[in-house]
Amino acid sequence: MPRIARKCLETSFFHVIVQGVNKDFIFYKNEYIEDYISLIKKYKEEFDIEILAYCIMSNHAHLLIFTEKIDILSSFMHLINSLYAQKYNRTENRVGHVFRNRYLSEPIYSEKYLVNCINYIHRNPVKAGIVKNCNEYKYSTYNDYANCTGFANSKILNKIIGKENYKQLLKIEEDNMIFWDIDITNEQIIEQVICRFEKQENKKLEEILQEKEIARRMINMLKYEYGITYKEMQKKFNISDRKMEKLKY
């Protein structure tokens, strides 16, 4: 398998999870799942992103997305989730939030992690006991990979994997790798974001907290993207009230 430049991996590949508010079954009808997939297909070209894999379950969805700009990812997810929520509320005759927070995302840092993430996404229905084999589940990209068609037939995947390797890829075991899922705790979210910033900035947490601009970006991401409270961050960072107040603004 060709090697992916580390810089590319740090900025371009993201495992994204969306979940129904209060773990509600927001995709409990096939037509709802098909609506969400239609939105993905419709707007991926407009935002110039590639969907490398997906699996839509009854109360959450996994996406593996390639984009060269993180702000594009945010705009894309905000649009498709907003449009889906509007239609869902109209159809269900309800009001209020449909999705928990905005979405969760974790960057992919290596070829091995990328391949295992694809398989992790495809194995969700088997793990949940919905089907015995991945190819029995209709609303994932597993069969695209098995048949070298559809979403699997992307430029970036062809460069990384090559069509001749798609079926071999599906047989690769997860190798005990841990990926974000719907049951992730706030503490785990904080740990993952800290890890992301440590890798991006090549600094330890203690150093990041000494650089106000970087620390503020990390705090704002935790607060406004993942709904983490300042108190939760403060406890994890092991800093005083005064220090936290200085970093927030």
pLDDT tens digits, 64-120: 999 988 789 989 999 999 999 999 999 999 999 999 877 888 888 777 788 888 988
Label residue 246 by pLDDT band (50, 70, 90). confident
User: What would the two tokens of residue 155 be?
Assistant: 């430029």
Q: What is the pLDDT of residue 173?
A: 65
pLDDT at 167 over 80: no
Task: Report CA 132 to chain centroid distance, whole Å.
Answer: 25
Q: What is the pLDDT of residue 82?
A: 95
Q: What dihedral do alpha carbons 176, 181, 183, 189 form, nearest 10°?
A: 90
Alpha carbon distance, N-terminus to C-terminus of the chain? 45
Range from 28-42, 62-76, 90-104, 145-159 carrying the lowest mean pLDDT = 145-159
User: If we measure between CA atoms, which residue out of 38, 15, 188 comes closest to residue 104?
Assistant: 15
Range from 58-62, 91-95, 192-196 carrying the lowest mean pLDDT = 192-196
How far is residue 121's CA from residue 167's CA, in Å, rounded to a whole number? 15
174 in Cβ contact with 213 (< 8 Å):
no
